[in-house]
Amino acid sequence: MSFEPKILAFLCNWCSYGAADMAGTSRLQYPSNIRIIRFMCSGRIDPNFVIEAFLRGADGVMITGCHIGDCHYIDGNYKTVHRYEFLKEYLDTLGIGSERLTLEWCSAAEGMKFSQKVTEFTERIRKLGPSPIKGDEQ
């Protein structure tokens, strides 16, 4: 059986979840590999959520949020940026590889961009293969 990546997406409530909604209502196609978890703000995403996702078998993690300056909570996504940079370094050191994590900004009107980015990211993970931290059995 060919490898189907499992991708976990953390979406912010105000913009990127709207973008996903938009993609749905506009009947845009994107791979069904992503599982979406909605957060009130991308600034709520604890680095540990991402690590736990990998430990529990995700092959890739996608964080999306409002564009810089558009955050519903003014500067929530500034924190996301710092955490993203931190996590990239952490994943490289751990040996999972920072390329399995991505950060994208999607506003509520960017359904097209959302579906595009998901497709791109899924393809990237598909090329990379299963996450090295997963046991042999999963």
Partner 1 sequence: MNSKSFWGWSSTEALREGGESGGFVTSFLESIVGKYDNILAVRKTGTVFEGAVMSIDSKEDAIKTQGALHAVCMELSHYIKKGERTAIVLKPCDARAVIENMKRNHVERENVLLIGLNCGGTLPPVDTMRFIDNYFELAPEDIVKEEIAKGKIIFKTTSGKEFWKTIDEIEEEGFGRRENCRYCDVKIPSMCDIACGNWGTPAGKNITFVEVFTENGNNALEQAVREGFINVGEPSEKMIAVRSKINGIMKKMAGGWNKRIIGRLRNMPNEERLAYIKNVLSPCIACYACRKACPVCKCGDDCKCMQMDPDDSLPISIFHSIRLLHLTESCIGCGNCSDVCPVDIPLAHLHQLFARNYEKKTGYKPGMSIEDIPPLSRGDLPEGY
Partner 2 sequence: MRTYHPYLEVICLKVIDSHCPGCSILCGVHIIDDDEGIDIEFMKSCTINSGKLCKFGIDLPKFYSSPKQEPYVYGKKVSYDDAIAATADALKSWENTRGMSEGVILCTGDATCEELLVLGKLAKKADMVCATGLGKIVSTIGGTTLLRKSSNFNIIEYAKSIILVDIDPYYQYPLIARKLQIAKSNGAHIISIGTEKPHIDHIVDEVKLIHPSKMQKELESLCESVSSETLFITSLGIYSDLSTIAAINNNCTKQYSRIMYMKDFANTEGSLVLGIDTKNNSIEDIIEGMESGKITALFLIESPLYESYIDNERFRNACQNLQHLIILQSRATSVPNNAIMLPLPLFYERKGTLINVCGRFLSLKGDKEGVAGVSNDILEKLGAKKLSFETLTQEAVDRYSKWKSLIPERSTVEVPKSAVDSGPCHKYISNPFLVRGLPYTPCKRVGKGLYPKAKKKERYAVLQDIAENVVLSYEKDTRFRKVLDIYE
Under the binding rule (CB under 8 A), the answer on residue 55 touching partner 1 is yes
Burial class (CB within 10 angstroms; exposed 0-12, middle 13-18, buried 19+) of 95:
exposed
Instruction: Report strand pairing: 101-105 vs 60-65.
Output: parallel
- Options 3, 37, 38, 132; binder of partner 1; rule CB under 8 A: 132
Residue 3 interface partner, choices partner 2, partner 1, none, CB cut-off 5-8 Å depending on type: none
**Starting from the edge strand earliest in sequence, which strands make up the sheet with 101-105, in order?**
34-39, 7-12, 60-65, 101-105
Question: Which residues within the stretch 23-52 sit at the binding site for partner 1 (CB under 8 A)?
Answer: 47-48, 51-52
Q: Which residues bind partner 2 (CB under 8 A)?
A: 135, 137-138
Residue 22 or 59: the one with the smaller Cβ distance to partner 1 is 59
Residue 51 or 112: the one with the smaller Cβ distance to partner 2 is 51
* Interaction site with partner 1 (CB under 8 A): 47-48, 51-52, 55-56, 68, 75, 78-79, 81-83, 85-86, 89-90, 92-97, 132-135
